[in-house]
Amino acid sequence: MGVPSNNITVCLVSDQLAGGGAERFSAQLSTFLVEKGIHVHHVLVLDAIEYPYQGEVFNLGRLKKKTPFFLHRFRRFVAFRNFFKTHNFTVIIDTRVKKKYLQELLIHRWIYQSPYILMVHSARTEWYVPMGSWGARWIYKKAAAVVAVSQGIQQLLELQYDLKKVTHIPVTYPTFTTCSSLDLPPFILAVGRMNDPIKQYDRLLAMYARSELPQKGIHLIVLGEGNLLPEYQKQAAQLDCSALIHFPGRVTNTNDYYSKALFSVLTSKNEGFPTVLLESLVIGTPVIAYDCPTGPNEIIQHEYNGLLVPDQDEMSFIRALNRMICDKDLYLRCKDQAKSSVAKYSMEQIGAQWLNLISQKL
């Protein structure tokens, strides 16, 4: 269902427009909505913008930089409240992580006067629902809808918190172009931030070293940055295959690497709806991933576009690495079907679901 664009104004409240999949999706959704004739405003908690976006920006992060520490929290909260007092939005879409119960209670019961939709991007639902089921009843009770990015998260929200207005809309993949002629040896690829141990790159390094890949001269490239990077580099240096492990850091266009990789891997402890799998598949590169909560089993069709490994089973993961290299028929089948397997996650199709949801709230 379409939504009339005249006088429709959407406010996207995000932690920032940089860093990860949730933030990238806010930017992508804003561009889609503006292209459909809808007015978009962004409210950002942090002053970080790197993804292409459309719409006007109210940047609370800049107030933080200009205010003494003991005043900035109060000043930003007042500015946040005044912003919503002076704007009458058709709908507010809040994608932030929500860990402070009292703050969220004030925002959702006092500041948000327009209909609001809450997004949950991670299987770690406690990041979005402070104070458990009791907090959920008070903070989420007035929400027009709660959007989970995976079916698994939707089930968690309904079962754990008894929420009634939960729906499922996945995120989309970024639209990068492939323009680099990287001259690299055969390699597999992992992509993600290294600010916390959720991606479990320490386990990936150990499993790669125990697989047959180093013996076959197949390298491992891990893209990303964060405070754990030095630990991973130290661990890699102690392995016999250290010369085959590379940490290029954060790159502007990951598609240059996805397009050259034999396949990509995901070893996370938990996810939401991992866009790194979509990014790999849409460019035609198969994937191997743990069946962690949540998302991989909604994206990977086992032995069709990749291999889905029992959650946290290291021996099965090592066997999957070996199999993807040694079983040529399996590899070529997964590669041939990778791109078509994620066609349903295009921005046009995901955006249409958002238009339909917004139209229901008018």
Whether pLDDT at 1 is above 70: no
- Output the pLDDT for position 135: 77
Domain boundaries along the sequence of the chain: 9-172+346-360, 187-343
Q: Is 291:298 a contact under the CB 8 Å cutoff?
A: no
pLDDT in tens, 43-55: 999 999 999 999 9
Mind listing the pLDDT tens digit for each residue in 257-297? 999 999 999 999 999 999 999 999 999 999 999 999 999 99
Ramachandran quadrant class, 312 (left: phi over 0; alpha: psi -120 to 50; beta: rest): left
Q: DSSP states of 39-89 as a string?
A: EEEEEESSS-B-S---SEEEEHHHHHHHS-HHHHHHHHHHHHHHHHHS---
Residue 49 bridge partners (DSSP): 17
Starting at the edge strand found earlier in the chain, the sheet holding 56-59 runs: 56-59, 39-44, 9-14, 91-94, 116-120, 145-148, 166-168
Q: What is the pLDDT of residue 176?
A: 67
d(CA 16, CA 65): 15
Angle at 337 between CA 336 and CA 342, to 5 degrees: 135
Topology of domain 9-172+346-360, CATH: Rossmann fold (3.40.50)
**Secondary element (H or E) of residue 249:** strand 245-249
Q: What is the pLDDT of residues 8-57, one digit of tens each?
A: 999 999 999 998 888 999 999 999 999 999 999 999 999 999 999 999 99
Tell me the helices (H) and strands (E) count for the chain, helix number first. 14, 13
The residue among 238, 176, 236, 196 whose CA lies nearest residue 28 is 176
d(CA 358, CA 362): 7
Lowest mean pLDDT among 244-253, 286-295, 333-342: 244-253
Q: What's the pLDDT score for residue 70?
A: 58
Q: Do domains 9-172+346-360 and 187-343 have the same CATH topology?
A: yes
Sign of CA dihedral 89, 92, 96, 100: positive
pLDDT band, very low/low/confident/very high, at 138 (cuts 50, 70, 90): confident
What is the Cα–Cα distance from 297 to 294, expressed in whole angstroms?
Answer: 8
User: CATH top-level class for 187-343?
Assistant: alpha beta
| DSSP code of residue 122 | S
Q: What is the pLDDT of residue 62?
A: 87
